[in-house]
Amino acid sequence: MRKKIVAANWKMNLTLGEGEALIGGILEAGLRLAEDRQVILCPPFPYLVKAKSLTRNYPHFFIGAQNCAAEAAGAYTGEVSAAMLQSVHTDYVILGHSERRAYFGETGPLLKKKIAQVLAHGMKPIFCCGEPLDIREKDTQNDYVQAQLAESLLDLSAEEISQVVIAYEPIWAIGTGRSASPAQAQEMHAFIRSALAGRYGNEAALHQTILYGGSCKPENAADLFGCPDVDGALVGGASLQADSFIGIVNHL
């Protein structure tokens, strides 16, 4: 049975004190999660140690970083390596978020190197893929996402791909207040699963966790999570308030 996950991407938001208060509010809700359910909190780098400490007694809670370097070590001022993240007991690493691709020029081959670093250090990548509005309007989103998968993921072994969580981000729905309809989300998630099946077989594809990452809110979470190929969400803005994030997790 594949994992069902809600992951919180705080992006470049919150002070340490605000982050502590947010985690405290989430934990105080007393969420009851089934064995196959997980919550992943992805704060900015400086807060990873504190977040891990606060959640250490909560077995369904995991900590993720928002990025890592493609190189193992060296003269890369300002970068954070996979080894550094592993040393502070990070569980997951978000890679290929649309903002990293757009603002920092991250490419498929670069992300392939980052994925290799994360896997080599015993952590799990959350690999983001998805199309911008012009691609959606041309109805070529499947080809676009297929190319992203091929560039960064599909050379992995079956064992390696089983450690990856995929997050589908319709870029036109991130931070815009728009969301893909449940039907649009399901269609793309099913396509991604079929692409994995073509490479790794149906059994492996059925065990792959695929998250929706485009303006998920408490109001639309139930409909999205009710889709057979949607296994949870990578949540941005709605993860910055305890009540809204809890509302999403309660639909998992």
Q: Are 166 and 146 in contact (CB under 8 A)?
A: no
Q: Are 118 and 95 in contact (CB under 8 A)?
A: yes
Q: Are 232 and 5 in contact (CB under 8 A)?
A: yes
Q: Report the C-alpha gap between 242 and 236 in whole angstroms.
A: 12
Which H/E stretch holds residue 40? strand 37-42
Q: Are 186 and 212 in contact (CB under 8 A)?
A: no
Active-site pick, 97, 106, 131, 189: 97
Q: 199: which 2 tokens?
A: 């490479």
Phi, psi (5° rounding) for residue 150? -65, -40
Q: Are 234 and 167 in contact (CB under 8 A)?
A: yes
For 63-85, letters b (16+ CB in 10 Å) and e give: bbbbbbbbeeeeeeeeebbbebb
- Residue 27 CB neighbours (<10 A): 16
Q: 138: which 2 tokens?
A: 């041309």
Determine how β-strand 232-235 pairs with β-strand 4-9. parallel
Active-site pick, 121, 131, 169, 189: 169
97 is catalytic: yes
Q: Report the C-alpha gap between 44 and 27 in whole angstroms.
A: 19
169 is catalytic: yes
Residues carrying an active site annotation: 97, 169
